[in-house]
Amino acid sequence: MLLNKKIEIIKVSKESDGRGGWNYKEESKGYFWGRVVELSSSEVVRYLSANLMVSGKVYIRNFDNDLELELNDVIVCEGKRYLVKGVILIDKKNLYELLVSKEN
């Protein structure tokens, strides 16, 4: 699998603004080489039947073994933002498959 796109992973946290609302803070977890794959309509329907709103998959390899992927992290690739909905470790060489949905 060709992992030839530069992908940034961002952790989004929210903090109370003291007035009943939230302030969102983005912190980069780093840049990785990866690939974004849009899902076909039949794959989207299959994930919907499992109550997952997923529009694509992102494959990344973490060579340093220090990446902690979490649900609701943000993936940025070629100016598009994706929200992580699921994390799957594919092999022992730290290849991850992330189930993502596009952010509006």
CA–CA distance, 34 with 78 (Å, rounded to integer): 12
CA angle 82, 103, 42 (to 5 degrees): 75
Which pLDDT score, from 0 to 100, does residue 95 have?
Answer: 86
Q: Where are the domains of the chain?
A: 5-13+22-102
CATH superfamily of 5-13+22-102: Bacteriophage SPP1 head-tail adaptor protein (2.40.10.270)
Tens-level pLDDT at each residue, the chain (104 residues): 789 999 999 999 989 999 999 999 999 999 999 999 999 999 999 999 989 899 999 999 887 777 888 999 999 999 999 999 999 888 777 888 889 998 76
Burial (Cβ within 10 Å: 0-12, 13-18, ≥19) of residue 54: buried
Question: 1-15 pLDDT, tens per residue?
Answer: 789 999 999 999 989
What's the predicted TM-score (pTM) here? Answer: 0.83
